[in-house]
Amino acid sequence: WQPAGPTDKRSPCPAINTLANHGYLPRDGLGVTAAMLQTVMPQVYGIDVAVIKTLTDSDFKLETDNTSLLVNTGVLNATEYNATPQYLNLDDLKKHNRNEHDASLSRLDSYFNASQDLDMARFQRLYTASSDGQVLNKYDVCKHRVQLVKDCRASNPTCKFGAQELIIATGENVFTLHVLGHKGQITLDHLYSFFVLEQIP
């Protein structure tokens, strides 16, 4: 493990950033392909490849659209386009309302901070949501997420948290508590390691 350097690209997703920090993805965050994610995420996190494919299909359509535009405008010729695996840089995932969404556990809404970097005050709210000061459980996380959504709707004039965002947020909760954690809870030390250091606990 090594932390991201000043020029390395990172996403709003600590799970993906952690893979880059450990060298499972390019450490500079450049040239990441769908095949890379579909290979390493099941290996490292044990997530079913079908789930990863659903997410990457959405993410890589974004990059395919951009590359197609380059072909159509003559910046990139069709031979180069067809010969190159579709890729993105990790900071491409900062596109708002794709997988990145409002009412995040660790990032401010895009309306308030377009960089989508970790916000320590937001993370601290998650950390202190623990009801016993030792672990975060499903009740803590769900109660906390409901409050984040309420805050978003009350203070963010562009707040969007509908069915799609709910599905993604639920997946994040499950990942945090059952993949990184154990039996539906995660220790606060492991929570800090993952969200702040972006290191596998």
59 or 106, which is more confident: 106
Element (H, E) at 88: strand 87-88
Query: What's the pLDDT score for residue 66?
Result: 54
CB of 15 closer than 8 Å to CB of 175: yes
On the question of pLDDT at 143 being above 70, the answer is yes
CA separation for the pair 18, 2 (Å, rounded)? 9
Rounded to two decimals, the pTM is 0.83
**Exposure letters 54-82 (e unless 16+ CB within 10 A, then b):** ebbeebbebbbeebeeeeeeeeeeeeeee
52 or 180, which is more confident: 180
Query: What's the pLDDT score for residue 106?
Result: 94
Query: What's the pLDDT score for residue 71?
Result: 43
29-35 LR contacts (CB < 8 Å, sep 24+) = 29/4, 29/89, 29/90, 29/91, 30/89, 30/90, 31/87, 31/89, 32/87, 32/88, 32/89, 32/90, 33/85, 33/86, 33/87, 34/59, 34/60, 34/86, 35/85
Query: What's the pLDDT score for residue 82?
Result: 45
